[in-house]
Amino acid sequence: MKKILLVEDEKMLGLLYEEELTKEGYTVIVVHDADSAMEKVKSEKFDLIITDIRMPGKDGIELIASIMGMRKDIPIIINTAYQSYKDDFMTWAADAYIIKSSSLDELKDKIRELLKDK
């Protein structure tokens, strides 16, 4: 089973994504900040990482930079409420940039696409 690390500071949204992605047949680990995400990446193996950008403490962009410095092979999806970070070149390092929506179809499609070759 493919394993996804989800970084989302809003607890209820984390729950929603966890349930919906589990239903799709993935194993989902949810953390609420960048530091916990880094710990997980160091100790476990993931097939995909989904992260928000604006979070208390370290933001998603810093997280991406740290992960890229450690493991370049994990695909990363940015899942955020902000359109504006698209202009930040650091976000270009991610494999996809998705604006949060109450329909999770786009997110699900993107995950399927990125995990296809794995």
Binding site for other proteins (CB under 8 A): 9-13, 15-16, 19-20, 32, 54, 56-57, 80-84, 100-104
CB of 71 to other proteins, least distance (A): 25
Give whichever of 20 and 95 is closer to other proteins, judged by the CB atom. 20
Choice between 27 and 101, CB closer to other proteins:
101
Nearer to other proteins, 19 or 39 (CB): 19
Residues 17, 6 contacting (CB under 8 angstroms): yes
- Give the nearer residue to other proteins in terms of CB position, either 1 or 12: 12
- Measured CA distances, 118 to 11, 19, 77, 112 (Å): 29, 23, 15, 10
Whole-number minimum distance, CB 49 to other proteins, in Å?
A: 19
Question: Which tokens belong to 81?
Answer: 């409420």
- What are the backbone angles phi and psi of residue 51, rounded to the nearest 5°? -135, 145
Q: Least distance in Å: CB of 99 to other proteins?
A: 8
Residue 102 CB, shortest distance to other proteins, in Å, is 2
Distance CA 29, CA 115 (A): 16
The candidate with the shortest Cα–Cα distance to 40, out of 93, 77, 32, is: 32
